Amino acid sequence: MAEVEFIIALTEHRVFGTVFVPYLIEREEQFYRVKYHVKPREFKTETDYQFKPWEKELVEIIDRFSDEKLKRKFSREKSAKDFYASLQPAYFQKHILPFIEQCMYRAVVILMLSPVRLINKDAKYANLYDEDEIAVQPLFASPVFYFERTETETRYRLKIFLENREIPLLNRQTRVVTNEPCMFVQQGKLYIFEKLNAKRLAPFFEKEEVTISRQIEDKYYPGFVLNTIRDFTVHAKGFTISQETAQRKAVLSLEMNLRNEPCLVLYFQYGDENFLANANRTVSVKVKKQDGTWYFNKVNRDFDWEEQVKQQLLNVGLKSMEGYYTLPSLDSLETGSAVYAMVSWINKNGGELGRNNISIIQDKLNKKYFTGPCNLNLKTITIGDWFDIQVSVQFGEFIIRFIKLRKYILNGIREFLLPNGEVAVLPEEWFSRFQGLLPLARVKGDNLQFEKHHFLLLKTLLEDPVKSTIEKLMEQNNQEKTGLPAGLNASLRSYQEEGFRWMAGLHENGFGGCLADDMGLGKTLQTLSLLLKLKRAKREIVIPTAGRNGQLDLFALAPAATEEQPASLVVLPTSLVHNWANEIRKFTPALNVFLYTGMQRKKATDLKKLASYYDVIITTYGTMRNDIGEISKVGFFYVILDESQFVKNPASKTYKAVMQLQAKHRLVLTGTPIENSLSDLWAQMNFLNPGLLGNFPYFQKMFISPIEKHNDQEQQKTLQMLISPYILRRKKEEVARELPPLTEHVVYCAMAAEQEKMYEEEKSIIRNAILENIEKKGVRKSSFVVLQGLTKLRQLANHPSLLDSDSEEVSGKFEQMLLMLSDLVAEKHKVLIFSSFVTHLKLIEESIEQQNWRYSLLTGKTTDRESVISQFQNDPQNFIFLISLKAGGVGLNLTAAEYVFITDPWWNPAAENQAISRAHRIGQQKNVFVYRFITENSIEEKIQALKERKSALADKFVNSNNPFAEITRDEIVELFK
């Protein structure tokens, strides 16, 4: 098989002369035969020859001046033939030839370092011979000029050296390959110059020297001679060439680039000569003629020093571009903001640049910016509950009171005109630092005043002595030594004690707070512990007899003690009234409580007297709103809003009403301080600590819009800093170690008024029918009638619609259950909801769909159980699983759920335990909370009471397959009382 070799041929193009062409050649006996002209496309196809990396690069470079590529680059003609036919010589010389010669130069640099041979090829013949090889010299040739000035003329000669060996030119056959830079072939060798033009060589092919007459030397010396001295080695006689070590200085010029972006253009000054940092000139030469003699002064650039300067600029954060420097990400800003960013950077870094002998000038802009340092000076004093802050700003020699910049900061104006006419750019960090503070401040003369509850936000701004005051406030907000109250009938978990002490710390400083623990972590108990701790001893009085539900008789009140601590007002949804009353009786019985709700409030003719006697007054949002005229006249010790998201709308009547309440201290309780928007947070915080977040328009501008629309991280941090002392939120996962694996709660729900009326009427009818049936048939044969009656009452206890589908009455249990469900969905917890009645699940389903929540439903009619289960388990946005007790009691593994709602508990706990075990089972990594919803004064409550007392009747229903075999007539009657 013939030997194949890659070579570069030096040949003649039909239009533009000598060029390089890449070939693969095959060895014959006496010569080489061209196999084919190599094109880049060969690299993408299978060939026997394996191209080396440098060979591929050579092919790519040479292909750039192929006929087709030149036609595309320099013409719109359809073919190369048309391109060459229309080509004008002047255009070719000016544009095309320089491009070709630059490509040739890049190719020859590779040839100087690679083993690829260069062979001369006659365009007419296909064969090549070893004697046609041209030896590419591995080093650049150097020209040296010799000038001699006499009284009559100037003569100069040009010699060429390769290393120290002279290459003769005179009368030698020389073939010029390229003009700029020059390449020529002589005696089978290719010589290459870095920047010499072939025109300078041409005279010396035929003569030894060139003569210039005195008549033209005034033009010749400042032109040709100066340029030669600048670019090449020159030996001179008859005039002087000196080399000067000039004083060096780096200069950054603030300018606008071609894209109208601010930039810093780097210049290097050597004496009075300026070099752009990216200029190709390596030296500068100046000429003068004095007393008939020519003097040339040559200054060489110090590239080592220039590289050090460039590195210093990179070290201070600048980014190098083509010919200038900029700041990272500056191109993402609008022109005005980009200028401000650049000037602010100079304000901060100009001093360091100056110390490194790098100066900054700005003579190409339409205004002059102040580029010195900007210093902020603060002095603070404490006056009562106020922080008084004196702030001044120093721009060079000018000291400006910060209050004069207030409107600039608030309106986002960056430019401030100094007395000397320079424009100071206010640093962006001043806006982020003060824009949120200034609207919260009160202006007093030249000073700013802030209220005490802004202490944490001010902590990063202020210095001693105020800072020590702030540290003290922060310590008091964490009252570690506050002991639990005597008489508390509960053992608080450590996180509950922490919550209690946190509220005590807020109380000590007069701050309002939001306890925002997850549902099930005991917000009510923590709050009652605080109220019990703060309960003042009252003078001995006669305590009237407690009535139903522990309610005291108002008509039996003893005279109120003077100057006593007033009652605390608890405002909550109607569905939570009885739960609060029950928990007070259970955990803090020493607190006297009055339920200011329904008909009971009509007995409270003197609300101030009522508040002076009781420790706690409980009312609903609706009652508070309706009676706000009377309630707002009373000064309370605490006002506590439970489920405080009820006041989330600042425009609502409820919010406007609670803002009229008078109290020394304020608390809110919620599992979801933010449901839909940050406006929810503002409403609750403004109730707790008025003015903490400014007025609502300010809050919208500074926080809602930047955070909700633009995800502004800085504003998020600022808002977090503002509210963090006043919100305590613990998620269930955070306190999981302190919780038992299963926590069970019974939620007592009051009936709605019309629901209770329907229930009592139906209960009377059922009781009479059952008693009549027992009289006629006996207990055993009456079991069906009894069960039917119990079922009807259970349905009514759940929702009137279960008994009468056309009923439009509401259900207390249903409303409370939806309220709790709303909290859990907002907290992103998964919930299993079990019911014995599919119709009850359907009602819940309708309400869920109105909220646009995702859910799953499993009943006896569900065919694809696995798909429904998988949807709930695996979809992170599916928080609710509605399950009928019969269909979902067994065979389900629902470990994604953390909460279980038993909507209609009954007397057989086995079925409920099976339901609970769907979530509380092997593989469950979370703690499980179970809520049993019991309607007060209903059949549900009676069965629950029986179960809790472990009565014989409960045992009969729990343990017997036929409870009516052992139940008596009196026991049945007891259920329907």
Long-range contact set of residues 182-186: C-beta below 8 Å, sequence gap at least 24: 183/104, 183/105, 183/108, 185/10, 185/120, 185/134
CA quadruple 81, 85, 88, 89: dihedral sign: positive
Hey, which of 80-84, 378-382, 967-971 has the most confident mean pLDDT? 80-84
pLDDT at 366 over 90: no
Residues recorded for the chain = 977
| Residue 134 pLDDT | 96
| Residue 444 pLDDT | 72
| Residue 191 pLDDT | 97
| Residue 541 pLDDT | 35
| Residue 783 pLDDT | 74
| Residue 468 pLDDT | 54
| Residue 556 pLDDT | 39
| Residue 472 pLDDT | 58
Phi, psi of 889 (to 5 degrees): -70, -25
Assess contact for 837 and 741: CB atoms under 8 A.
no
Average pLDDT over residues 208-232: 93
Lowest-confidence pick of 107-111, 471-475, 784-788: 471-475
Query: Quick one: pLDDT band at residue 193, thresholds 50, 70, 90?
Result: very high
3-state secondary structure 177-207: EECCCCEEEECCEEEECCCCCHHHHHHHHCC
Query: Quick one: pLDDT band at residue 210, thresholds 50, 70, 90?
Result: very high
CA pair distance 931, 924, nearest whole angstrom: 18
pLDDT at 779 over 60: yes
Query: Quick one: pLDDT band at residue 555, thresholds 50, 70, 90?
Result: very low
The set of residues, in sequence order, having a beta carbon less than 8 Å from that of 608 and lying 6+ positions away, is 633, 634
Query: Quick one: pLDDT band at residue 546, thresholds 50, 70, 90?
Result: very low
> pLDDT by residue (tens digit) across 749-758?
888 888 899 9
Query: Residue 183 burial by CB count (10 A; 0-12/13-18/19+): exposed, middle or buried?
Result: buried
pLDDT at 365 over 50: yes
pTM, 2 dp: 0.53
| Residue 739 pLDDT | 62
Look at residues 365, 138, 372 and name the one whose alpha carbon lies nearest to residue 264. 365
Cα 802-804-808 angle, rounded to 5 deg = 95
Radius of gyration for the chain, computed over Cα atoms and rounded to the nearest angstrom: 47
CA pair distance 219, 212, nearest whole angstrom: 11
Q: Provide the percentage of residues in the chain whose pLDDT is more than 90.
A: 42
What is the amino acid identity at position 457? Answer: L
CA pair distance 561, 465, nearest whole angstrom: 43
849: number of Cβ within 10 Å: 10
pLDDT at 621 over 90: yes
Average pLDDT over residues 290-297: 92
| Residue 332 pLDDT | 79
478: number of Cβ within 10 Å: 14
| Residue 458 pLDDT | 67
| Residue 457 pLDDT | 64
Higher confidence at residue 389 or residue 247?
Answer: 247
pLDDT at 821 over 90: yes
| Residue 789 pLDDT | 83
Count CA within 13 A, CB hemisphere, residue 448.
Answer: 23
pLDDT at 235 over 60: yes
Assess contact for 974 and 788: CB atoms under 8 A.
no
User: What letter does residue 790 receive in the DSSP assignment?
Assistant: H
**If DSSP codes are grouped into helix, strand and coil, which group holds residue 669?**
strand
In the block, residue with structure tokens 């002209």: 37
pLDDT at 889 over 60: no
CA pair distance 343, 27, nearest whole angstrom: 69
Tell me the β-bridge partners of 380.
Answer: 389
Cα 11-12-15 angle, rounded to 5 deg = 150
> pLDDT by residue (tens digit) across 901-934?
989 887 666 567 667 766 665 456 778 888 989 9
User: What letter does residue 118 receive in the DSSP assignment?
Assistant: E
| Residue 521 pLDDT | 82
| Residue 975 pLDDT | 74
| Average pLDDT, rounded, for the chain | 84
| Residue 554 pLDDT | 38
pLDDT at 960 over 50: no
- CA 820 from chain center: how many Å? 31
In the block, residue with structure tokens 């996180």: 495
pLDDT at 545 over 50: no
Q: Provide the percentage of residues in the chain whose pLDDT is more than 70.
A: 88
The set of residues, in sequence order, having a beta carbon less than 8 Å from that of 373 and lying 6+ positions away, is 347, 348, 350, 351, 396
Average pLDDT over residues 182-188: 95
> pLDDT by residue (tens digit) across 246-284?
788 999 999 998 888 899 999 999 888 889 988 888 888
58: number of Cβ within 10 Å: 24
Query: Quick one: pLDDT band at residue 105, thresholds 50, 70, 90?
Result: very high
Cα–Cα distance list, 746 to 235, 417, 670 (Å): 108, 69, 19
Average pLDDT over residues 665-688: 87
| Residue 74 pLDDT | 92
Average pLDDT over residues 525-535: 94
CA pair distance 725, 506, nearest whole angstrom: 9
**If DSSP codes are grouped into helix, strand and coil, which group holds residue 642?**
strand
CA pair distance 276, 258, nearest whole angstrom: 16
Locate the DSSP E strands across 507-598: 513-515, 568-572, 593-596
pLDDT at 392 over 50: yes
pLDDT at 767 over 90: no
The set of residues, in sequence order, having a beta carbon less than 8 Å from that of 926 and lying 6+ positions away, is 732, 733, 736, 895, 898
Average pLDDT over residues 80-94: 90
In the block, residue with structure tokens 């406007």: 656
Tell me the β-bridge partners of 78.
Answer: none
CA pair distance 640, 619, nearest whole angstrom: 10
The set of residues, in sequence order, having a beta carbon less than 8 Å from that of 447 and lying 6+ positions away, is 388, 389, 390, 403
CA pair distance 382, 470, nearest whole angstrom: 10
